[in-house]
Amino acid sequence: MKHFTFLLAMLLTFAVLKAQNIPYNLTPDWESNPNGQVSTGLGLADINGDGWKDIVVADGNDIHRQHLVVYYNNGDGTFPYDPDWESADIDYHGHLAVGDINGDGWIDVAVSVYIGPSGFSDPGKVKVYYNNEGELEASPSFESSEFYTFSCVLGDADGDGDLDLAAAAGEPYGSLFDSGKIFYNTDGTFEQNPQWTSAIQMGAMDVDFADMDGNGFLDLIFSCEETPNYIYLANDEGIISDIPVWQSDEPQNYINSLDIGFIGSDTFPAIVMTGNSQLGGDGKVRLYDFDEGIPASSSASWLSNYFGYGSGILLADVTRDDILDLIYGGWWLPTKIAIGNGVNFQIDPSYTSSSSSVVEAIQIADLGKENIQIMNENILIGIESAAIHLTHKIVENILNIYKNGVLLESSDYSYIPGKNWISFKNRLYAGDELEIQYEYCYDGDLVITNWDSYKGNYIFYNTNPPVGLITYDKNVILNLINIYPNPANEFINIDYVLPFDSEVEIEIYNLTGDKIKIIYKGYETKGRNILKYKIDNLRTGIYFIKVIAVNQYFTERFIVY
């Protein structure tokens, strides 16, 4: 669909106004015993192989040298108040990443060590605890060379289908900048020194992988303090450039954490980041939208109100409308949830917890498996590539993947619990057909790590009642194919597909989110349907069509001239 730049700024104000419930209590339903722990890194993954998500926490931060710990799921979504396992070693741990690094079917844990044993004068490192068939090794068998690092991430950095390790580098309190780093996976382990370093030194606080430009290879994104944020793109052979293709251009940049997701019907992912005003900056949450392409530099397309010491951030659909919402927290601050509208988010969040803590990380998973759903997603590959993104953002587990009708082995691809990309060992080519069956999080429980040593880590359990299993194919869900002509001045055709016979309601909204009228309400048959609607009574401007059917809806914009 064509976009018109003179109208883009107006689009950011659009919101469909409707009451939506946030399914969380205002205070946590579970809080671990504090035990003096300065909790920072967080991972939700099945460590002991019993089929239930466990909670992995890295303690220490820049306050104390402490352990990596695991709280094992009791098999019903509940957890003990004290960790079941702790590492033999201690460090000033930052954030962590979970994934099957050596391809043995067990989830391993990589951890950033922010600073060394002597404190801020001593650089840290990144290390890996491998999983020995249900229990993490007591001490890490991989430790990198020394550098300051607060966050790390696992992802396929070279398009070969295994998990590489990327690290954010730098130390903002001392304005010590460093290059971002990648340690490539070789037979399930890493060399002590990174094989990739960015050409630019930065004060990176967080890092993640995503296919930002849609070329079928994962790219690398850094959020930073004192220096700009950066995107490093992979080329069409999967090689990530050491020169950034994009940087943020705000005059002051003090960013703590980031997350990545598809906003509304965007073709390319967007990035959200938390500003932290401890050392400077505006202390606001930012949204960077790249659906028009990735420029050399840009400012945020949306800003929250002032928040202050922002930290953990997550995009997730908590309102069951297939639109990502924004969850964020901060130091000595409550957790907030701003409902998404498919373009951006509420300025005034619908949810603010009555409890506050020093939030470090926020993640979601269906810990009790009450509402985990199964998706059968069919994808036709258009270009040579190694990675794809799935429809649902919070993927719990990959069940099966068929490529051109052949069942793949788990060693043929890699993914991360809680993320929605899959990277393949063997190249995908135009015309290849993938059939992917996976479990996704429909009603997630909110897990938060807390730096305050007098408070524990939190779980806010989802209060929605179980709905039972909903299994459907992506290629047969409600799909709004097109609105045409667009722009238009006499009529539009609304072209959509129903998976089965259903009641249909079609509504039209103006740019400010006001419903103008219901233009159709009736019963339609399975398959493709086209509604022709006269628009000669509408003023020049931007409007939105909303098609509601089969307990779903799809919104698309059109222009009247």
- Report how far residue 508's alpha carbon sits from residue 243's, in angstroms, rounded to the nearest whole number: 45
Closest CA to 232 of 192, 202, 190, 267: 202
pLDDT at 360: 98
Quick one: tokens of 164?
Answer: 């590489």
Q: Both 450 and 335 in a single domain?
A: yes
Q: Does 506 fall in a domain? A: yes
pLDDT at 9: 33
Q: Both 394 and 484 in a single domain?
A: no
Alpha helices in 19-153 (DSSP H): none
- Report how far residue 182's alpha carbon sits from residue 154's, in angstroms, rounded to the nearest whole number: 10
pLDDT at 479: 59
pLDDT at 551: 66
Q: Both 513 and 548 in a single domain?
A: yes
Find out whether the peptide bond into 466 is cis, omega within 30 degrees of 0: no
Residue 8 three-state SS? helix
Find out whether the peptide bond into 140 is cis, omega within 30 degrees of 0: no
Q: Both 273 and 360 in a single domain?
A: yes
Q: Both 457 and 340 in a single domain?
A: yes
- Report how far residue 347's alpha carbon sits from residue 92's, in angstroms, rounded to the nearest whole number: 35
355 Cα distance to chain centroid: 24
39 Cα distance to chain centroid: 21
Q: Does 87 fall in a domain? A: no
Residue 131 three-state SS? strand
Q: Both 410 and 513 in a single domain?
A: no
- Report how far residue 306's alpha carbon sits from residue 204's, in angstroms, rounded to the nearest whole number: 22
Tokens 């290879």 appear where?
217
pLDDT at 4: 33
Q: Both 495 and 520 in a single domain?
A: yes
3-state helix, strand, coil in the chain (%, to 5): 5, 50, 45
pLDDT at 397: 95
422 Cα distance to chain centroid: 14
Q: Are strands 479-484 and 491-498 parallel, antiparallel or unpaired?
A: antiparallel
Query: In angstroms, what CA-CA distances link 101 with 153, 188, 223, 343, 408?
Result: 12, 6, 24, 36, 18
Query: In angstroms, what CA-CA distances link 212 with 9, 104, 127, 128, 285?
Result: 22, 29, 27, 27, 20
pLDDT in single tens digits along all 561 residues of the chain: 223 333 333 333 333 333 358 999 999 999 999 999 999 999 999 999 999 999 999 999 999 999 999 999 999 999 999 999 999 999 999 999 999 999 999 999 999 999 999 999 999 999 999 999 999 999 999 999 999 999 999 999 999 999 999 999 999 999 999 999 999 999 999 999 999 999 999 999 999 999 999 999 999 999 999 999 999 999 999 999 999 999 999 999 999 999 999 998 888 999 999 999 999 999 999 999 998 899 999 999 999 999 999 999 999 999 988 899 999 999 999 999 999 999 999 999 999 999 999 999 999 999 999 989 888 898 999 999 999 999 999 999 999 999 999 999 999 999 999 999 999 999 999 999 999 999 999 999 999 999 999 999 999 999 998 776 554 444 445 555 578 888 888 889 898 877 778 889 999 988 767 789 999 999 988 777 889 899 988 999 888 888 888 766 677 788 898
Quick one: tokens of 497?
Answer: 């597909």
| CA dihedral over 389, 390, 395, 399, signed as positive or negative | negative
Tokens 């229990």 appear where?
135
- Report how far residue 326's alpha carbon sits from residue 546's, in angstroms, rounded to the nearest whole number: 22
Q: Does 163 fall in a domain? A: no
Q: Does 410 fall in a domain? A: yes
475 Cα distance to chain centroid: 23
Tell me the DSSP string of 221-274.
Answer: EEEEBSS--EEE-B-TTSPBPSS-SEEE--SS-BEEEEEEE--TT-SS-EEEEE
- Report how far residue 407's alpha carbon sits from residue 73's, in angstroms, rounded to the nearest whole number: 31
Q: Both 262 and 392 in a single domain?
A: no
Span between the terminal Cα atoms of the chain, in Å: 16
Residue range(s) defining the domain that contains residue 512: 477-560
Quick one: tokens of 100?
Answer: 């099957």
Tell me the DSSP string of 429-481.
Answer: -TT-EEEEEEEEESSPEEEEEE--TTS--EEE---SPP----EEEGGGS-EEE
pLDDT at 483: 84
Answer left, alpha or beta for residue 424, where phi above 0 means left and psi between -120 and 50 means alpha: beta
Q: Both 408 and 430 in a single domain?
A: yes
pLDDT at 13: 33
Quick one: tokens of 134?
Answer: 């249900």
Helix (H) or strand (E) holding 137, with range, is none
Q: Does 118 fall in a domain? A: no
In a 10 Å sphere around its CB, with 0-12 CB exposed, 13-18 middle and 19+ buried, how is residue 31 labelled? middle
Q: Both 288 and 318 in a single domain?
A: yes
Helix (H) or strand (E) holding 26, with range, is none
Q: Does 452 fall in a domain? A: yes
Q: Residue 121 contacts by C-beta under 8 Å, 6 or more apart in sequence?
A: none
pLDDT at 469: 57
Q: Does 84 fall in a domain? A: no
Q: Does 224 fall in a domain? A: no
Closest CA to 154 of 179, 129, 175: 129
- Report how far residue 495's alpha carbon sits from residue 479's, in angstroms, rounded to the nearest whole number: 9
Domain total in the chain: 3
**407 phi and psi, to 5 degrees?**
-70, 125
CB distance 362 to 446 below 8 Å: yes
Identify the CATH number of the domain in which residue 509 sits. 2.60.40.1930
Q: Both 378 and 292 in a single domain?
A: no
Q: Both 267 and 320 in a single domain?
A: yes
CB distance 178 to 160 below 8 Å: no
| CA dihedral over 242, 254, 301, 555, signed as positive or negative | positive
